[in-house]
Chain A
């Protein structure tokens, strides 16, 4: 039995927001425009993105609603009603509620009945985990169809008031992601038989390196911590107000560690080449979720050094117009690729998601049906 992604969908809330308009949505911290903004935006190359927050800083959607809208967009194309699907596999870095699992909430939004549920939690690569789970259950013959949804809504963490509440804990690492991440959701419908316009999932592999490096992207530790300590995480403070003041509720990136993601991403690719799971010459398209244009150049450099570069014209991304939507990015990218780009039956699409959370790199090879 094989698993095929036969339909895709996505949802990006509101109109595209350009670089000059970002602070209308997220707010001005202490009434002032950020000094770091231009530097970070220049490095990441993102021109427009979407927020589920309007220009008056009012939240318009739940994350689970973004997920449901992407799923509906996917199912509309397939002309399949949600109740026909009995496996729902979802991913997000943060649901609207701390509990229950995000999957339950997305199921309820969609009105799906009697589904088997899987919620994957992590950062950028957790959508690949949700997808692998669904694909494997189809391969096992337990389900004929599966809906896989990845959705992110980090903008709520970037509201100006969050930074004003902990002025002493705000540094470059705390502000960095404010100019990197945005909202959106992507959905895939998997089936056990191929359909025209869909793709077969040849394989998925991932390598996690959490044992070799400290935490790189996190929420939950006060400023200055590099690893969680018993008694000093966000839930250990006497009140959440104190946790917030200490900066433990800010989304942080330890930028010093970031270059490791390029090396580990390429190391995993070299391993796949060595295992002969993929050959450079057979790849027709590369969809890589790099978080920033800055890393595109670095990845290319290392691939060229190692003689494993896939020609640049084969690389596709919509990062610059749709933004970095965390775990939803790879689904949103695949959706737009399949709907707008030229490809032929038999083409091989290589997907790559290097995640900097604590360094997990995920890969997948697809063949166009």
Chain B
């Protein structure tokens, strides 16, 4: 079909050439290839970096807007953050970020991450929006490994009930007005519906939302504190664990 390329190199190989020369030649060739392709990578990385950063911020903002209506705040949420040390109330094992929404200078709402450690297949990571007066503005599942088709209805994109997804039950709940026994799925005598086939998953989510919402209400002052002040309290040892 064409000139026999592999043939020529196969013929060239046994030509008298000492081992050192061959090693050097191969090393040089490999080096040139690495140099060439690494520079391509560097160029593409430079080119895409601003776009990737923008889409990461946009993705964060999209999640946040799902748990907190955009009209309820006017500050730059992604800039007004507080890094929270791991807290048992939130189920977090790594420092998490709290986004503080303010409107006209007033504390409006908090967006924080919570983890339900006891899902059917490991951790369920949640994003929770809660207003300054304790009303849950929304909950979304960020990451989970629940069984497709059974437990994954906690993610509204997988929920078959498009108009009223399961996770929307939390929206609008005033945390302080809900009694301890109501924070359960209906099967256990609580107020939260569940879908046949999976109860472990909703139980885990309900428990995690309850703990996180109570935490947000209780720790409100600290969580809303402006950046400088907050870092001061954050340095106090074990501040997050104090009841």
Do chains A and B stick together as partners?
no
Binding site for B on A (CB under 8 A): none
Which B residues are closer than 8 A to A by beta carbons?
none
